[in-house]
Amino acid sequence: MDQLEEMLGEALPLFVENAIPVILAIIMLYVGYIVSKWAGNRVRKACDKSPKIDDTLSPLISKTVKFLVLIVVFILVLDNFGMRITSFIAILGAAGLAIGLALQGTLSNVASGVMLLTLRPFRIGDFIIAGGTSGVVDEISLFTTQLHTPDNVFVMVPNSSVWGSEIKNFSRNDTRRNDMVFGIGYSDDIDKAMTVLKRILEDDERVLKDPAPMIAVSELGDSSVDFVVRPWCKKEDYWALRFDIIKKVKQTFDKEGISIPFPQRDVHLFQQKN
């Protein structure tokens, strides 16, 4: 018993001496994490309120601040254990070089992310087609671009795939042209059909006067005389206008006695005489 008490007496001061710095380090890391999260959120809110900072950059700035705070806290923890900061930086540099060589694809995503954030071919909220994916942009980070599709499916695309492909931005310009094709029967009056189409466009306030809409006979098809109808509208009116115009053309053509023919062929049979 006396020997056990002697061992405990020797171990307890060592335990207390080593446990206190460890507990202090854990507390510092926890507090540092809370502070970094708070700082990141504060910076994000400040960026969102500032008219000078684009929404595309707000998430990146917020995450950068959070990361920097965590680095400072980690360095303070190491310093508390007596580790030299210069030695840590040298080790970190060597490790960074090794990791960089192993993650060349990731670095390619970072380089592409920098180009996307610098040149800004699209912004948060834009509807794009890039990297074989179409959707509304939710976030642009250094590694990936996050989107959601029209049916609200989350998609994460590597930045190298986005930057390395053609980018179509449907939201960048304020106006868009709606391209539609309507066919009438060969026995119908072409001029009357053009007048009806023109009246439909004139009656819709969403159709812009400048540029002026175009209505023209585009093709003499196998079963119909085809018209191209190309009104211009604001980007936010594109789909609603398209759906309404198609419905209105069908209803008005029926009312005016203008046919919209089905695909058909005339087959002639010849009887061979013996």
In CATH, what number is assigned to the domain containing residue 228? 3.30.70.100
In a domain, 273, yes or no: no
Q: Are residues 196 and 164 in the same domain?
A: no
Query: Tokens representing 207?
Result: 């159709």
Q: What is the pLDDT of residues 145-194, one digit of tens each?
A: 999 999 999 999 999 889 988 999 999 999 999 999 999 999 999 999 99
In single-letter form, the type of residue at position 15 comes to F
Half-sphere exposure in the Cβ direction for 15 (13 Å, CA): 6
How far apart are alpha carbons 88 and 27 in whole angstroms?
21
104: left (phi over 0), alpha (psi -120 to 50) or beta: alpha
pLDDT of 139 reads 87
Of the chain, the percentage scoring pLDDT greater than 90 comes to 41
160 and 143 belong to one structural domain = yes
Report which DSSP code applies to 51: T
Same-domain status, 243 and 225: yes
Burial of 96 by CB count in 10 Å (0-12 exposed, 13-18 middle, 19+ buried)? exposed
The reported pTM is 0.62
Question: Residue 19: which domain range?
Answer: 2-102
Q: Has residue 85 been placed in a domain?
A: yes
12 and 97 fall within a common domain: yes
**Same structural domain, 163 and 132:** yes
Q: Which DSSP helix (H) or strand (E) runs through 157?
A: strand 154-158
Q: How many domains does the chain have?
A: 3
Report yes or no on 94 lying in a domain. yes
112 lies in a domain? no
Residues of the chain with pLDDT under 70: 1-22, 50-58, 60, 78-106, 264-266, 273-274
pLDDT score recorded for residue 222 = 84
Note the pLDDT of residue 45: 76
Q: Are 159 and 122 in contact (CB under 8 A)?
A: no
Residue 270 lies inside a defined structural domain of this protein:
no
CATH classification of the domain holding 69? 1.10.287.1260
In a domain, 40, yes or no: yes
Decide if 262 is inside a domain. Answer: no
